[in-house]
Amino acid sequence: MRTFCVRCSIFAFMVMLMLGMPASSVAQVAVGISVGFAPPDLPVYEQPICPGEGYIWTPGYWAWDDEDGDYYWVPGTWVLAPQVGFLWTPGYWGWGGRGFVFYEGFWGPVVGFYGGINYGYGYFGHGYEGGRWDGGRFFYNRSVNNVNVTVIHNVYNTTINERNVTRVSYNGGRGGINERPRPEEERAAHERHIPPVADQRQHVQAARSNRQLRASENHGKPPIAATPRPGALNERGVLPAREAGALHNEGNARRGNAEPGNAGRGNIPRPSTATHPNELPPHERHAPPNTGNAKQDQKYQKEQEKLYAQQQKDHQKLQQQQEKEHHQLERQHADEGRKQQVEQRHQQQTVQMEQKHSQQQQRLQEREQSPGKQKGKH
pLDDT digits (tens, 9 = 90+) for 242-267: 888 777 654 333 333 333 333 333 33
Of 7, 47, 44, give the one whose Cα is nearest residue 275.
Answer: 7
- pTM of the entire structure? 0.62
The SS3 call for residue 222 is: coil
- Residue 55 pLDDT level (bands cut at 50, 70, 90): very high
At 30 the pLDDT is 56
Kindly report the average pLDDT of the chain as a whole number: 80
Of 263, 16, 243, give the one whose Cα is nearest residue 120.
Answer: 243
How is 321-343 classified by DSSP, letter by letter?
A: HHHHHHHHHHHHT--HHHHHHHH
Residue 273 has pLDDT above 60, yes or no: no
pLDDT in tens, 114-159: 999 999 999 999 999 999 999 999 999 999 999 999 899 999 999 8
For the chain, what percent of residues have pLDDT higher than 70? 76
More confident residue, 264 or 305: 305
More confident residue, 375 or 209: 209
Residue 185 has pLDDT above 70, yes or no: yes
pLDDT in tens, 66-119: 888 999 999 999 999 999 999 999 999 999 888 899 999 999 999 999 999 999
Q: How many CB atoms lie within 10 A of CB 231?
A: 18
Which positions ≥6 away from 206 have C-beta within 8 Å?
A: 231, 233
Upper half-sphere CA count for residue 363 (Cβ side, 13 Å): 8
More confident residue, 239 or 335: 239
Write the burial class of residue 328 (CB in 10 Å: 0-12 exposed, 13-18 middle, 19+ buried). exposed
Q: Are 227 and 235 within 8 A, CB to CB?
A: yes
Collect contacts of 19-26 with beta carbons under 8 A, ≥24 apart: 19/97, 20/96, 20/97, 20/98, 21/94, 21/96, 21/97, 21/101, 22/94, 22/172, 22/180, 22/181, 24/113, 24/180, 24/181, 24/185, 24/186, 24/189, 25/94, 25/103, 25/113, 25/181, 25/189
The SS3 call for residue 120 is: strand
> What angle, rounded to 10 degrees, do the helices at 336-368 and 294-332 form?
170
Q: What is the average per-residue pLDDT within 286-290?
A: 64
Of 16, 24, 14, give the one whose Cα is nearest residue 179.
Answer: 24
Q: Are 239 and 48 within 8 A, CB to CB?
A: yes
Strands 92-95 and 170-171, sheet pairing = parallel
Residue type, 343: E
Q: What is the average per-residue pLDDT within 218-233?
A: 95
Residue 295 has pLDDT above 90, yes or no: no
Torsion of CA 246, 250, 255, 261, to 10 degrees: -70
At 62 the pLDDT is 97
